[in-house]
Each structure stands twice: as structure tokens, then as C-alpha cells.
Structure 1
Amino acid sequence: MECKILNVMAVENVVIITISLIAGVVNSVASHDLEGFVVGGKRAKIEDFPHSVFLYIECFIGYTTTYACGASILNQAIVLTAAHCLVQCQEDSTFLAAYVGDFVAGGGSSYSADNYKLHENFDEKEISSDIALVRLEKNIKFGKNVRRVSLMRNPPYKKYAKVAGWGYTDPETKDQSAVLMQASQRVRTRPKCVIMLDRITPEGTICGGSKNAKSYVTKGDSGSALMALKYIQIGIVSYKDLTRSKSVCIYTDVAYFYDWVKTNSRSMYCEL
């Protein structure tokens, strides 16, 4: 019997704008000074961001720690997130739960995960190949507030894209939003990012934001999707170099990893 999976690469007329961002509930994920919540953003409606996933993570790293990352719905049983969200976890002692369909953090329908895969070339020091897939135990039920993203090998890197999440709304007071917030990002290709930040960024990345932006992602946005034309995911929130800019975020370039996503999402789904 042929294993059938939704065509995650086809562009559809799906109403989608952004992604949920990592919301560090208890501990930050890595030793890097990562950030990822929407500061200065505005409240988002889940029907405008139906691909958004609040990914609850409980893992053992010598002790049990809990936190959350953003993710996006790739197909009926796979969600897409950042590798650094899971790299320190021990696979046999990790519990993952994906919450979809609600603008409230941890609200909506929940789905337990039974497997995940980090990119083989993920480098925790360089934060390169920062992409991962999480397989859910049962298929997601789609509806008005629950939709998947579309991916393209050659996406439209528009001047502006959008990102959304449940992270800090004020990095100084560490106020964290319990509701989904969104922000607009000015997108730049890797060569332009290198010039703007005056530093080399990893292969397979793009960046978004501006040095003087009042609305940007900050601590807690990791794993969330950067969306173009409302339904095409072009990036995954990865990290920021605070020595260069507090508002410019480095995103994993999803198109760069198109073949990896296509091959591994299909094999993971067909193992169900």
C-alpha cells in the first residue's frame, strides 16, 4: 500500500500569515544569547495564523527541564521547528506536545509527539542547519484555525514578511504574552545580512528586521515560522547576535533545506 501524505511543497490558497515563536517557559534552550518573542508587536488572531504551533518540551539534560518553542504545521502529522530547541534533549526521556488552533499559549487541541529528527549537520556552536521535524502520534484535524504551511524550492523573498509568537512583549521586564502576537519583518538575503551585521552568518540563512526597529522578535521566538504572502513559509526563527543588533533576527532559510524537509517528512510520516 502506498503511503499517502499531503503535498507539503505545493502552494495553496491557504489563509496563513506567520508562525508561533519559542516561548521559554522555564529555561532557555541553548547557551547562546538567543532571543525570540515579539516586542512591540500587535495581538494576532489565530485564524490569521492557523499554522502556528505552541510546542511544549519536557526533556532530561542531567535534570528535567521544561520550556516551549514555536513550530509550524507542515503536514497532517509533522511540524517544523528549530533544531536548537531539541538538541540538548535525550530522545528516550523527552516528552513533546503540540498545541494548535488557539491564540492562547497551550490552548486549543493538543497532540503528543512520538519522534523527532534534527538536521544531521546542525552545529550548536555555529547555529547552522538549525532545522528539525517533529512527528505526532496521530494526525492533526484541520479546520478554519488549523492549517498547514506551503513550502517552495524558490519562494518569493518579499521585502516584508510576518512572524508571530507567544514570547516576551518587554525584554526589560520579561513580561511574557499568553496570547499570540505578530510583527512585520523586512527580509534580507544572506549576502545583505552579512553586510548589515558586519559578520558572517551560516549558510542556509536569511535575516529579518532592521537595526532601529520598534517591533521585533526577542527571547522565546525560536522555531517559529517567517511567512511571505500569508501562506508560504520562508524562514524559521533561529537566533540573534545581540552584539550586533537587538532587532535583526537570523532565520533558517527553509528553501535551502527544501529537499531535506521533503525527504525526511515523507519517511517519518510513512513510519507511522
Structure 2
Amino acid sequence: MRAVGLFVFLYTFKLVIGKQEGFIVGGDYVHTIAKFPHVAFLTLYKVDSYDEYICGSSILNQWILITAAHCLDDVTKASAFVGNVNRQIGKLHRIASYKQHEKWDTYKVNHDIALCRLKEMLRLGHTVKRVLMVKSPPKTGVADLAGWGATEENDYTDTIQLKHTRQKLWNNNQCRKVFSRVPEGTICGGETRARGNYASKGDSGSGLLVDNKIIVGLVSFKDPSVSRSLVIYTDVPYFYNWVMHSARQLRCY
């Protein structure tokens, strides 16, 4: 499997009012952010571009968000919106700096993890909460994903409301039977032939959670030649030490 044939979930749109990316294909609408208070919607601007890109992220603590490294390639300006299922009226927080993994490889799509530091501290509460990150998460066969990615991949139907789906988790042996190459530090989630209920463009960096609070994955990429609904996620517990060290570094800047 070559990286050039992969489908990463970053999405760009022109700055036209109302014309933005949608969210998870299939799945269910989220009507209260209290069900997923950890989510943060990212808007990103890149070097020499007037286009706006979007990604998902999760609140790691009052200062730090966790997302996919590919979301932040060549980014010069970024903002996060929290506290509402409607991304247009979530509370705006500017991103002061970010750190991609030092071994992030855009061709091999491995080490796809990054942290963002906010300019101002988040006020945690009923609608804004942090995720838990542990080295050894509970063993389970399913996890939850919430995001604002595309609702339909043929015409990329757009919306502003958060959506949610459940993902079947695969072990590494099962995953390698489907994909010829599975990058180090990743996990598989979803179904091989699902008609809906999977991540799409705009969902990059969105957190995959177990027990609705423990983050185990970040939306990274998929290979449409194999399956449009089976997604490769960055394995967050695998990068536990890097996240802890890098978060401390960002807090000191």
C-alpha cells in the first residue's frame, strides 16, 4: 500500500459563507455537547493559501489539544471552537503554537500525532471537559467517534452539527490481513464494507474514545482501494510518553 494512494481526512473549503465541510458519513446527530464535551473543532490556514482547512481534535487539558500531525502541515494560523455541537457558535480559542511528532512522515503516514497549545486557558465545565489518556486502556471491541467530517463522500454534503458513530476495533493481526502495510503505532477501526458510519474528510484528528472518556485513537487515513469504511487511527496510548513530554514543553513556551 503506497501512501500516495491513501485518503487522509483533511478538507479545505473556500471562504464562502455556508459552504463548509460536513461530518461523519452515516452515524447519528449529537443534540447535546454534554455527550462529547471533549471535542474541539479546528480551522486552519496554510502557507500561501487563502483556503480554510478543518480538522477535529480533543481536549487534553486546559491548555492542550491533541490531533493528527497531518492537520498541521504548513499551518500558519489556527483556531479551535469548543462547547457546542454547532461549530459556528462554539467558543473561539486561538492556537498559540503546535508541535508535530518529530518522526511524522507525510509519505508513510506514520507518527501522525500532534499537540496544539491555546493562547488562553479553557474553562472546564459541563460542556467542556478533558479526555483521559492512559498507557493501558480497557480491552474492548468498540469505541466512539464524534466529528464534523463529510456526511456523504460523493458530493461532500455539508452541515454544521456534530455527528457520532461507533467503530469496531480490530487487533493488529486482523488489520494486517486487510492492509498490506499497517504503520507502527496505529490501530484499525470500522468495517470493510459498511455503507455508512465511518470517518471522512474533515474528521482528521478526531478522537476515538472508549468508555466515553478514554482516548485511544486519532483519525489518520484510509485506503479507498481496500475499503472506504475501514479507518487507520493513530494509537494514542502507544505515544503516551511523547504526549506527556511534549505537552510539558508546550506549556513552557
Shared fold (TM-score, shorter chain, > 0.5): yes
- The alignment covers a number of residue pairs equal to 237
2:181 maps to amino acid: I
Once the two structures are TM-superposed, the CA of residue 59 in structure 1 deviates from its matched residue by 1.9
Distance 1:124 1:23, change over 3 A: closer
Aligned to 1:269, the other structure's residue is in SS state helix
Work out the CA distance in 2 between the residues paired with 1:150 and 1:139: 18
Once the two structures are TM-superposed, the CA of residue 23 in structure 1 deviates from its matched residue by 6.8
Q: Are 1:46 and 2:27 counterparts?
A: no
1:201 corresponding residue in structure 2: 182
Q: Identify which of 180, 196, 201 aligns with 2:162.
A: 180
Contact in 1 for aligned 2:66/2:205 (Cα 8 Å): yes
Work out the CA distance in 2 between the residues paired with 1:87 and 1:136: 18
Work out the CA distance in 2 between the residues paired with 1:177 and 1:108: 15
2:144 maps to amino acid: K
2:3 corresponding residue in structure 1: none
Per-residue CA distance 1:105-138 (angstroms, 9 max, x = gap): 2322111011100000000001100000000011
Contact in 1 for aligned 2:69/2:113 (Cα 8 Å): yes
Work out the CA distance in 2 between the residues paired with 1:52 and 1:106: 14
Once the two structures are TM-superposed, the CA of residue 157 in structure 1 deviates from its matched residue by 3.7
Contact in 1 for aligned 2:12/2:51 (Cα 8 Å): no
Alignment of 1:103-182 (within 5 A): 103-182=85-164
TM-score (norm 1): 0.83
1:212 maps to amino acid: R
Aligned to 1:216, the other structure's residue is in SS state coil
Alignment of 1:5-154 (within 5 A): 24-26=11-13, 37-44=23-30, 45-60=32-47, 62-89=48-75, 94-154=76-136
Contact in 2 for aligned 1:23/1:168 (Cα 8 Å): no
Work out the CA distance in 1 between the residues paired with 2:160 and 2:116: 23
> What is the aligned-residue identity percentage?
40
1:30 corresponding residue in structure 2: none
Q: Which runs of 4+ in 1 moved over 6 A?
A: none
Once the two structures are TM-superposed, the CA of residue 25 in structure 1 deviates from its matched residue by 4.3
TM-score (norm 2): 0.89
Once the two structures are TM-superposed, the CA of residue 162 in structure 1 deviates from its matched residue by 0.7
2:246 corresponding residue in structure 1: 264
Work out the CA distance in 2 between the residues paired with 1:218 and 1:63: 23
Per-residue CA distance 1:238-267 (angstroms, 9 max, x = gap): 001101001000000001100000011012
Contact in 1 for aligned 2:23/2:162 (Cα 8 Å): no
Question: What is the RMSD of the two structures over their aligned residues, measured on CA atoms?
Answer: 1.7
Once the two structures are TM-superposed, the CA of residue 104 in structure 1 deviates from its matched residue by 0.8
Once the two structures are TM-superposed, the CA of residue 200 in structure 1 deviates from its matched residue by 1.2
Work out the CA distance in 2 between the residues paired with 1:201 and 1:37: 25
Aligned to 2:13, the other structure's residue is in SS state coil
Alignment of 1:220-235 (within 5 A): 220-235=202-217
Once the two structures are TM-superposed, the CA of residue 170 in structure 1 deviates from its matched residue by 1.3
Work out the CA distance in 2 between the residues paired with 1:234 and 1:106: 27
Once the two structures are TM-superposed, the CA of residue 49 in structure 1 deviates from its matched residue by 0.4
Aligned to 2:41, the other structure's residue is in SS state strand
Q: Are 1:249 and 2:235 counterparts?
A: no
